[in-house]
Structure 1
């Protein structure tokens, strides 16, 4: 009985919260650091593979929720370059789970009904052949879609992303395709993963689960450069609920409101300053004797 009452309360709160956030601006691009799979498995008395499988199920739900509320671009941190330090057995487990989820996305009718373009960002040379085959398969099948973008970061590191972009630009300069004068922020952005001209855009909101308050080398160019909002929450990734997503969007909206108020205040100060200067000039003109 107690669980039933709690469930009713939870769903009513979720409904009201969603209705509230839909009345304001929804972030265009959300990036998620999906942390806590292993700790969740340990908490449940299971091995790490169980946590990664449950994390995959959470990922499927979050993709659906983001599409539902109107997010246009979602980037998921599935496997970082630092994750290669884990045991070979666990790395293989994670790659198998990622592969299964990509193939599930490929065959899921919702992917095609919602015209979801799936793109993988990261150093593919470090990935096993079977995973690269699945990546190519789903990217090819969804390359012409454009209603919703799902970016999956695998073997990804933010600094490495910037390094490969700089090397690519240096090569273009060396062979005469670009001049040094053409190098600017926009050009660098275009050469970031996944490919020149089709890179991941600036991030509006970063979410991290699992309790840690750090961004772990995730999209530094796109996140830090855009001064995006950040939402850190305690639930492990497999426990992430729709309410957690809605709360993160509420944080983004509150931040946007503060930024607009601050901007409005600054504009008001400038206008007042200019008006004061104009009044002083008029007073001086009135006080001056007219020439005969």
Structure 2
């Protein structure tokens, strides 16, 4: 009875929260560091493969939730370059699980109804042939879709991504295909994974589960350059709920509001300093600055 009552309360709270966040700006691009699968399995006395399997189920739900609320781009950190230091058994198990999910997306009619484009970012040379075949299959089948973009980071590292882009650009410059004057931020972005092709856009919100407050070399160019919001939460990835996603978006919206208030505050200071009156006319004298009432959020 108690669990039932809690379930009713949870659903009601979720509805209220969703209505609240839908009344404001939804982030175009959310990037997720899906952390905690192994610790989740460990606290239940299960094998690590169990945690990864449960996490993969949540991943499917998160894709649905993001599509439903209007997110345009979702990037998931499935396997980092650092993860290759784990046991061969665990890494092979992850390859098989990821492959299974790609094949499921390929055969799922919802992929095509959503017009979901699926792309992989990372060093594909480090992936087994069967996984690369499945990646090629799902990417080709969805390459013309533009309504919702799912980017899956496999064998990915942010520094490695920037390094390969620099090498690629340097090769183009040395061969005469590019001049140094043509190298700018936009060009560098185009050479990042999944180059060659349309680059992954700037990130609006980074979410990390599992309690750690770090971004683990994930999309440094797209995240740091855009001053995106970050949301660190305690639940392990298999425990991640829709409420957690909605809360993260609320944090993003609060940050946007703070930035707007900050810009408004600075504009008021400039107007006050210049002594511009209500009609836009400059006062004859620039007296002492009047304080502008505003609670600043650090």
Q: Same fold (TM over 0.5)?
A: yes
CA contact (8 A) 2:275 2:286 kept: no
Aligned twin of 1:123: 123
Query: Hey, what's the Cα distance between the residues in 2 that align with 1:61 and 1:282?
Result: 59
Higher CA-based Rg: 1
Query: Hey, what's the Cα distance between the residues in 1 that align with 2:12 and 2:217?
Result: 37
Matches within 5 A, 1:135-174: 135-174=135-174
Aligned twin of 1:279: 283
Secondary structure of the structure 2 residue equivalent to 1:226 = coil
Q: Runs of 5+ in structure 1 lacking a partner?
A: 284-292
Query: Hey, what's the Cα distance between the residues in 2 that align with 1:187 and 1:272?
Result: 41
Aligned twin of 1:254: 254
Q: Runs of 5+ in structure 2 lacking a partner?
A: 288-298
TM-score by length of 1: 0.94
Query: Hey, what's the Cα distance between the residues in 2 that align with 1:61 and 1:194?
Result: 25
TM-score by length of 2: 0.93
CA contact (8 A) 2:165 2:188 kept: yes
Aligned twin of 2:72: 72
Query: Hey, what's the Cα distance between the residues in 1 that align with 2:176 and 2:228?
Result: 36
Kindly indicate which of the two structures has a greater share of residues assigned to helix. Answer: 1
Aligned twin of 1:232: 232
Aligned twin of 2:179: 179
Aligned twin of 1:28: 28
Query: Hey, what's the Cα distance between the residues in 1 that align with 2:177 and 2:271?
Result: 46
Moved more, 228-237 or 182-191: 182-191
> What RMSD, in angstroms, separates the aligned Cα atoms of the two structures?
1.4
Q: Deviations over 1:160-218 (max 9, x none)?
A: 00001111111111111111011111111111110234110000000000000000000
Query: Hey, what's the Cα distance between the residues in 2 that align with 1:270 and 1:148?
Result: 41
Secondary structure of the structure 1 residue equivalent to 2:275 = helix
